[in-house]
Amino acid sequence: MTLPPLRIAVLASGRGSNLQALLDAIGTGVLEARIVGVFSDKPASGAIALAGARGLHGVAIRPRDCPDRAAHDEALFSEIAAVQPDLIVFAGYMRIVGAAALSRLEGRMINIHPSLLPKYPGLDTHARALAAGDAEHGASVHAVTPALDAGPLLAQVRIPLLPGDDAPALAARLLPREHALLVATATLFAQRRVRLHADHAELDGRRLAAPLQLDAANHLIGA
């Protein structure tokens, strides 16, 4: 039986490079999906501009136009729920979302984060990895829960730290691997192979004991 394309909503505050990676994968047939909406807290973000250029449904709601954080969450997540997504991808969304808003879409949200979680939740991950003298760095895809960058891990990609690396160089080297990780993980959702729970993720009906690892050929080992 042919599965319908995965309906993806993307939530972003920045330039939209992960959104572009998803669109590229859809365009080449790598990812059987459709972007049903792009949502942001910043009307001038690159993600919203990209949505407009590609004729996608785009909604930006500024926090300052809402009376408080909860009201902003409610307004934005009502717009997201209205497009009936199968999967919501947090792709550089720079605000913490409250539990009440998350509860309405529980089990359908993933975030891509530029560190090897549980190391370095939050901001400045590249500089923190360098300051710690780590041998490797990477990115993680995890389920979204109310706790910051703490939901069950799905997949990771690793890169070595190199002599002379600074934070911008490390970020630039990681970014294409981050894009590949997101596409590979979204493909598992498009194949309806993943289920998310509050405390774990399942692949093909089995609980993941550790995050899948992306190899050099952009395949998730063990998937």
Q: In angstroms, rounded to a whole number, what is the distance separating the alpha carbons of residues 46 and 173?
A: 20
Is residue 132 within 8 Å of residue 180, measured between CB atoms?
A: no
Is residue 52 within 8 Å of residue 81, measured between CB atoms?
A: no
Is 219 noted as a catalytic residue in this protein?
no
Instruction: Report the DSSP pairing between strands 109-113 and 153-160.
Output: unpaired
Torsion of CA 141, 194, 100, 80, to 10 degrees: 90
For residue 63, give the DSSP letter: G
- Give the active site residue among 113, 126, 137, 179: 113
Is residue 193 within 8 Å of residue 3, measured between CB atoms?
A: no
Q: Which of 64, 17, 16, 8 is nearest to 41 (CA)?
A: 64
Residues taking part in catalysis: 113
